[in-house]
């Protein structure tokens, strides 16, 4: 057997080269492995389109973090209010242009689920184990896996401390205080038809106080409003800079303002709020389903949940485990002793469209008439209270004022109708029926507020008439008393005069200074 020495030499050289390469690779393996561990590696590319009512201070933080993890994926944000998010999904149902709906309360997500706008998504095992099924009686996980809580939200009142001092306004303690006329013109809030969080506040008040008393409170406190904003995020902006003193907000708006150094305070009305999950879901038939999965996984991961502690966000995570790394003093809903109201999510899911339309028709669009009516009612009530303290009979005026209050605080829809599934469904699906109802509600509101103003004015006139009548009676009684006293004094003066004359005569006789001549008749 013969060997080609040149070929053998070339073969040995190749083997030595391969050996050196293999040794180098083995030496570099730990470094490569380490590099791969810290460098994002993903087959995902393209984009994920996120529909959200969140403010930019929230979604910008998440977009930056997600794109750092998945550099080949671009997050496209479609921002709009919660009710508009739902409307957009309905409009694009047959050809969705979004992948994820992120942000909004249970009511709207449950409605979307019922309309097959969402698709089931199974959480990773680690994430699923870290999130409770429910908290305060409200689900953090949809039983059908179509939506999940992504953050927890409470609802309350923020106020500008400097503003309150400047206007000498007392600090509020609960929702009821907002109806005090002392706050007239100092309050602002968003339209519930444009803000899921404000809608939630309205529903909380209606459930917490009952339908009739709830609307009475809403009408009075809205008479104190100077403005209804088109986005909930505008409310803290106004309060932060002192354009208004008081705002109704979801908690993280108020807490973010505090953390950013504005002269602002925030509080939950005691025993009059709820802790509600802010949800996230995968849109049915979205154009980028894999990227949608990645976005949901990220938001609900420990890392994603910890981003909620960011000072520009200040929200409550739905994962109890991440509170171990929360800033000192951070509110923890899993350990709080705060009492929350028992919120009926089924009822809340049933009637959001009706409530938002009703609010607009009798409050937003008739705000001028509402304010005029309550301003007159409050003015006359002050007059009546003053007269009552003075002991004046105010029965007639008070009765007429109560008629005005009833007109200005009664909605055109009763509680049973608001809870009627057939009525709510027809209102949502039949535009002619809805238009007829809204026209009816608008006319009702305008008529009632104008009549309330007139009734309050009549009460003022009755009060004035009663005061004048009372004064006349008092003057007449006083005149009679004066006449009687005058007669008594005249009689006494006459008596005093007679006695004085008699005393004078006696004194003259005693002194002998005068003679008394008795004239006798002349005798013939």
Kind plus residue range of the DSSP H or E element containing 102: strand 100-102
The β-bridge partners of 190 are 229
Q: What gap in Å lies between CA 489 and CA 362, rounded to an integer? A: 67
Q: How is 167-222 classified by DSSP, letter by letter? A: TTPPPP-SGGGGG-GGGTT-EEEE-TTT-HHHHHHHHHHHHHH-HHHHHHHHHHHH
Q: How far is CA 171 from CA 113, 165, 188, 423, in A?
A: 41, 9, 16, 41
Instruction: Say what the pLDDT of residue 9 is.
Output: 47
For residues 366 and 447, the answer to whether their CB atoms sit within 8 Å is no
Residues 6+ away with beta carbon under 8 Å from 249: 155, 156, 157, 158, 197, 232, 235, 236, 266
Name all domains of the chain by residue range, CATH numbers in brackets. Answer: 46-150+277-325 (3.40.190.10), 155-272 (3.40.190.10)
Instruction: Say what the pLDDT of residue 464 is.
Output: 87
Give the predicted TM-score (pTM) of the model.
Answer: 0.76
The β-bridge partners of 249 are 156
Instruction: Say what the pLDDT of residue 345 is.
Output: 85
Low-confidence ranges of the chain (pLDDT < 70): 1-42, 466-477, 493-524
- The pLDDT tens digits of the residues spanning 300-336 come to 999 999 999 998 899 999 999 999 999 998 999 999 8
Instruction: Say what the pLDDT of residue 511 is.
Output: 57
């Amino acid at each position: 057997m013969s060997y080609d020495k040149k070929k053998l030499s070339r073969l040995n050289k190749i083997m030595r080269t391969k050996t050196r390469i293999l040794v180098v690779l083995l030496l570099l393996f730990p470094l490569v492995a380490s590099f791969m561990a810290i460098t994002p590696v993903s087959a995902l590319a393209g984009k994920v389109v996120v529909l959200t009512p969140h403010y930019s201070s929230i979604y910008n933080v998440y977009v930056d973090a997600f794109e750092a993890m998945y550099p080949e994926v671009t997050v496209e944000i479609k921002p709009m209010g919660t009710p508009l998010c739902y409307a957009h999904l309905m409009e694009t149902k047959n050809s969705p242009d979004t992948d994820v709906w992120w942000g909004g309360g249970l009511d709207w997500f449950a409605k979307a689920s019922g309309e097959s706008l969402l698709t089931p998504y199974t959480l990773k095992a680690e994430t699923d184990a870290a999130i409770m099924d429910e908290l305060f009686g409200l689900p953090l996980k949809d039983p059908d896996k179509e939506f999940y809580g992504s953050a927890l939200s409470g609802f309350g009142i923020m106020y500008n401390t400097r503003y309150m001092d400047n206007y000498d306004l007392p600090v509020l303690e609960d929702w009821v205080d907002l109806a005090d006329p002392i706050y007239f013109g100092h309050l602002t809030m968003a339209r519930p038809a444009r803000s899921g969080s404000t809608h939630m506040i309205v529903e909380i008040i209606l459930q917490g106080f009952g339908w009739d008393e709830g609307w009475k409170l809403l009408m009075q406190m809205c008479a104190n409003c100077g403005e209804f904003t088109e986005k909930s995020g505008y409310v803290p902006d106004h309060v932060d800079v002192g354009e208004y003193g008081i705002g109704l907000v979801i908690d993280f708006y108020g807490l973010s303002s505090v953390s950013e150094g504005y002269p602002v305070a925030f509080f939950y009305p005691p025993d009059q709020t709820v802790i509600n999950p802010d949800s996230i879901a995968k849109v049915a038939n979205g154009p980028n389903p894999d990227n949608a999965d990645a976005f949901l996984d990220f938001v609900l991961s420990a890392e994603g949940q910890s981003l909620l502690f960011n000072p520009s966000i200040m929200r409550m995570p739905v994962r109890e485990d991440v509170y171990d790394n929360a800033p000192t003093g951070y509110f923890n809903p899993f350990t709080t002793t705060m009492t929350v109201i028992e919120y009926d999510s089924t009822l809340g899911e049933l009637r959001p469209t009706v409530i938002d339309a009703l609010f607009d028709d009798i409050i937003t669009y008739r705000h001028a008439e509402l304010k005029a009516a309550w301003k007159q009612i409050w003015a006359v009530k002050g007059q009546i209270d003053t007269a009552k303290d003075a002991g004046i009979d105010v029965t007639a005026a008070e009765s007429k004022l109560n008629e005005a209050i009833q007109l200005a605080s009664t909605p055109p829809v009763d509680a049973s109708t608001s809870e009627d599934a057939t009525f709510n469904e027809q209102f949502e699906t039949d535009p002619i029926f809805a238009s007829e109802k809204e026209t009816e509600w608008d006319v009702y509101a305008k008529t009632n507020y104008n009549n309330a103003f007139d009734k309050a004015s009549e009460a003022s006139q009755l009060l004035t008439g009663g005061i004048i009548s009372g004064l006349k009676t008092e003057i007449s009684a006083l005149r009679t008393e004066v006449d009687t006293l005058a007669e008594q004094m005249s009689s006494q003066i006459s008596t005093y005069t007679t006695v004085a004359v008699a005393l004078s005569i006696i004194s003259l006789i005693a002194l002998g200074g005068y003679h008394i001549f008795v004239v006798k008749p002349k005798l013939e």
